[in-house]
Amino acid sequence: MKISRQHLDEYEQRYRANLINSLSGFKSANLVGTCNSEGATNLAIVSSVVHVGANPPLVGMIMRPNSVPRHTLENIKATGFYTINQVSDKLWQAAHQTSARYPREVSEFDAVGLTVENLADFTAPYVAEATLKYGLALREVIKLDLNDTEFVLGEITEIHLPAEHIAADGYVDIEAMKAVAVSGLDSYHITKRLDRLPYAKTE
């Protein structure tokens, strides 16, 4: 079937949100850990984390200032640091629960039963239960005037993961770590590898 733009605009809001959120394909599932200037922790699931570049190592994410992760964005701007913690098949239900609208004084770590882990002297809190996680320094926040969201760009400063999941060529086997993928707003998936393909050449 064809859905015209006019039909799309006439859909009920939640129906349209479910549909449009499904179109980009599978999304990453990550928990973003932050603290405010007093050290109070915050944790939010984000499905918009996207690779931006390897050198320097840059990661982006789309944040909606008026939706649930607003405390996260405030903390990132206040401290300049945050962690990204990969959501696995052990964590997906607790991770999803962080999207509830907890009041500012509640730490989602406590509310959903995940453990704050402070590694080395990194400012922001990690999720102890996450197998792959890394720390980032905020580099830029770009306001998207098209819909008042913000594109948050961070530079990776340290990475924590089990050495046995790094292949000889640097590829990290996130499937072996049971990372989950998201579709739409609320569907979680495990994966099965088809294959890795060689670098494509024209001949």
**Residue 174 CA from chain centroid, whole number:** 14
Minimum CB separation from its own copies for residue 82, in Å? 14
Mapped onto helix, strand or coil, the DSSP state of residue 54 is: strand
Minimum CB separation from its own copies for residue 12, in Å? 8
Minimum CB separation from its own copies for residue 198, in Å? 7
Minimum CB separation from its own copies for residue 121, in Å? 12
Q: Which is nearer to its own copies, 115 or 166 (CB)?
A: 166
The two three-digit tokens of residue 87, written as one number: 């959501």
Considering Cα of 33, then 37, then 39, then 41, what sign does the dihedral take?
A: negative
Q: Is 139 exposed, middle or buried (0-12, 13-18, 19+ CB in 10 A)?
A: middle
Minimum CB separation from its own copies for residue 7, in Å? 9
Q: How far apart are CA 186 and CA 102, in angstroms?
A: 18
The two three-digit tokens of residue 171, written as one number: 């590829």
Q: Which is nearer to its own copies, 77 or 140 (CB)?
A: 140
Q: Which is nearer to its own copies, 22 or 115 (CB)?
A: 22
Q: Which is nearer to its own copies, 53 or 113 (CB)?
A: 53
Q: Which is nearer to its own copies, 35 or 94 (CB)?
A: 94
- Asked if residues 34 and 63 have their Cβ atoms less than 8 Å apart, the reply is no
- Asked if residues 32 and 72 have their Cβ atoms less than 8 Å apart, the reply is yes
